Structure formats: C-alpha cells, structure tokens
Amino acid sequence: MKTYDFDQTVDRAGTYSIKWDQLPADAPAGSLPLWIADMDFPCADPILDAIRRRVDRQILGYTTHNTKDYKDAVTGWFRRRHGWEIDPDTLCYSPGVVPALSFLVDILAQPGDGVLIQRPVYHPFTATVENTGRRVVNNPLLYENGHYTIDFQGLEEKMALPSVKGMILCSPHNPVGRVWTEEELRRTVDICKTYDKWIICDEIHCDLLREGVQHHPILQVCPDYSHRIIACTAPSKTFNLAGMQLSNLVIPNPVYRELWRHETGDRFPVASTGPLSIAAMTAAYNESEDWLDQALRYLDGNFAYAREFFAERLPQATVCDGQGTYLLWVDLRAYCSDAAALRNKMVREAGLVLDEGDLFGPEGAGFERINLACPRGVLRDCLERMARVLR
C-alpha cells in the first residue's frame, strides 16, 4: 500500500481553479484561499492512472453511466463503507448535487410552495429554492457553546403548515459539521411522516468523518419512509473530484424516478456522462479506499492543530464541534461581531479568502468557514494571519 504525502504543496495557479484563480477583486496579492470546498491534496494514484488509461483510448465520445460496472462501484462502496444496501435500479445520474436539488424541487413542489431548510446551511439551498420560484421556510439550528442541534419543536410547527411541502436536509451538515445521530434522523423523518412531507437529503460529505464518528444514511435508518426520501451522494468531496461533474441520487420511489428522468432528459441526457468522470469514479470507489483512510487521518491532525491554535492564540473564539466534513466552523464574534468588518479584516488585512459565515444565512454572521483540506503548512500560515489581525 502506498503512503501518500499530504504535506505536499501542489501549485494550482493557472489551472482555471475557482479556488485559486478567481479570488475576490479586493483580495491583495499573495492571498491565501481556504474557502471553496475542494481539497488541495493530489488525487489518489488509481484515479489518475484510470484517467490516463482512458485518455490513451483516444476517443472521448458520449458515455453512459447505465452499466453494471458503474452501479457495482457505487453500491459496493456504500455497502463496504456504511453498511448501506442500495438497490442499483434506484440510482440516477446527475452532473452535481446542486443542479439535482433544482430539478428535484421543480418536481416535488409548485411555485409558491414552501421548502424548509435549516440555516446556517450550504448557501445553494437558499438559492435553489428561491430561483425555482418556491419559498424558503427557515427552521434555524439551535446553537449553544459550539454545538448545534435541530429545533424539533420549530420543525414540527412548520411541517404542520399545508403550504410547506418538504425539506432539504444536510447530512452531514455543511457548514457546522454535525453528523446527525440515528435518533435525530428518525425524529426528523417521523415529523415528516406525520404530515406526509418529502425529504431531499444531501449526503455529499458522508465519507468525511472524524475518527470514531459514524454516518447514518437516512434511507438505511428509515427504510419504511423511502417512498418520500431522495438521497444525494457523490464522490466529489470524498476523492477531490468536484471538476468531474458527477453525482448519484438514490430515488427508491419509481414514480419520482420517472419524473426525474422526464424532468432531466432535455437538460442533460441521462445516457451521457463524461468518460473521464466514469473512469475517475469507478477507480475512486473500487481502488482508492486506502487514500481516503490516510486523508482522514491527516484531516484529523489538521482539526487537532486548529483547535490547539485557537485555544492558545485566540482563546475567545469558539471552535464548533465538527464531526464531519473537512470544514472548520468557528465563532469569532468575541473578536469582531460585525460581519462586514470581519470580512474586511480577513480579506484586506490578513489576505485570507474564507467563506464568511453570513453567506450561510444571517445566523452565521460573525463566523468563518475554513477549509482544512490543505497541507498543514498552509493551515499554519492561515491561522497565523488570522491571529495577527484579530489580536
């Protein structure tokens, strides 16, 4: 088994990287980006080898995902990694989870209907609901001393409204990093079941867990409500393949599957996927588990380093108890309570491009989301810059 070097710094400048090449206009030269959720770690060797072999076949034509090899790779991964048995007939292809959310909201709700989300949450949830002409119904997470929980009383009150048709659940949660327990998931599903509401569950971060933490696929926990649940998965976060534009939905309800295929057929042909994406995904799921295990150990080290740094150098900051993702969510309101002023300190004074907390809803104002999927030397530089401007 190869030992990977995650301390290696890869120069991404000039690769059309959004993270590195499209910084905000007011970011000074030499700014450090730890924002957009892709990794600065090289992909696993089997992935790169598989792409090279596919390129060597010389023709990159229309490509189908609807093969046994493809489905075996996806279902085999979730069986081994999470004990989740997925019926291969329920798999549906999408170029990404964000476009999938848009199509699914179109299918499941009418213009003007309410769709519930739980802020602070991944900002495309809000944009998806609003851009499709539906109405955001926010049930904010409860926050206390760096820990987030679901407001179940608020959830039930809002799900009881006839105008609210369903919810988009983030599991594990981005940006706060909670990995919901089986009890929390069951309670959420029970409320939706009481009022016959659908759930779209974004599980894209499900493989990125801290040591000792277990992700619970919602369809595995609550199979009796599978006809009203759609789970969204992808190899993109797990294996740093965001640019490959490939995700997999699990849609147990055959009526929803047919609606999905009809809705998406004219927008992206279901028979056509990127040939390099197929090669990358199958190599990731079939051959790259050792890379992920090593990456997770390295990420655990980055999280431990960041916690120690804040405790020693910025002790009034509250580092949230993230259990999943590679994203650190930190409360800096003790140092700067104004969101605009905090951004100015980070970008213009420190030369740090992070995801400002209010991007995820007003509940995130005064927080920062920091992408820890980077070499430790880069993380050290980031935190030193932060401490310099906040002290």
The span from the CA of 70 to the CA of 64, in Å, is 9
Instruction: Spell out the residues 6+ positions from residue 189 whose beta carbon is closer than 8 angstroms to its own.
Output: 199, 218, 221, 222, 225, 229
Query: With the C-alpha atoms ordered 246, 250, 255, 256, is the resulting torsion angle positive or negative?
Result: negative
Q: Cα separation of 121 and 140, whole Å?
A: 9
The DSSP bridge partners found for residue 94 are: 247
The pLDDT score that the predictor gives to residue 91 is 96
Cβ atoms of residues 116 and 139 within 8 Å: yes
pLDDT for res 262? 85
Per residue in 257-291, pLDDT tens? 999 988 787 666 555 689 999 999 999 999 999 99
* pLDDT at residue 195, as a whole number: 98
- 254 vs 30: CA distance, rounded Å: 52
Q: Before 24, cis peptide (omega within 30)?
A: no
Burial level of 15, CB count in 10 A (0-12/13-18/19+)? Answer: exposed
CATH number, domain 18-44+289-390 = 3.90.1150.10
8 A C-beta contact, residue 171 and residue 217: no
**What distances in angstroms separate CA 185 from CA 188, 218, 345, 352, 371, one per listed residue?**
5, 7, 38, 36, 26
What pLDDT sits at residue 173? 98
User: Given 3.30.565.10, 3.40.640.10, 3.40.50.300, 3.30.540.10, which CATH number is that of 61-287?
Assistant: 3.40.640.10
State residue 1's pLDDT score: 85
DSSP assignment string, 48-97:
HHHHHHHHTT-----B---SHHHHHHHHHHHHHHH-----GGGEEEES-H
Q: Which residues on adjacent β-strands are paired with residue 114?
A: 135, 164
What pLDDT score was predicted for residue 256?
A: 97
pLDDT by residue (tens digit) across 193-237?
999 999 999 999 999 999 999 999 999 999 999 999 999 999 999
What confidence tens digit (pLDDT) does each residue in 308-347 have?
999 999 999 999 999 999 999 999 999 999 999 999 999 9
The pLDDT of residue 302: 98
Spatial separation of the C-alpha atoms in residues 151 and 233, rounded to whole Å:
25
Q: Are 241 and 280 in contact (CB under 8 A)?
A: yes
Q: What is the pLDDT of residues 74-120, one digit of tens each?
A: 999 999 999 999 999 999 999 999 999 999 999 999 999 999 999 99
CA distance 28 to 26: 6
| Every domain of the chain and the residues it spans | 18-44+289-390, 61-287
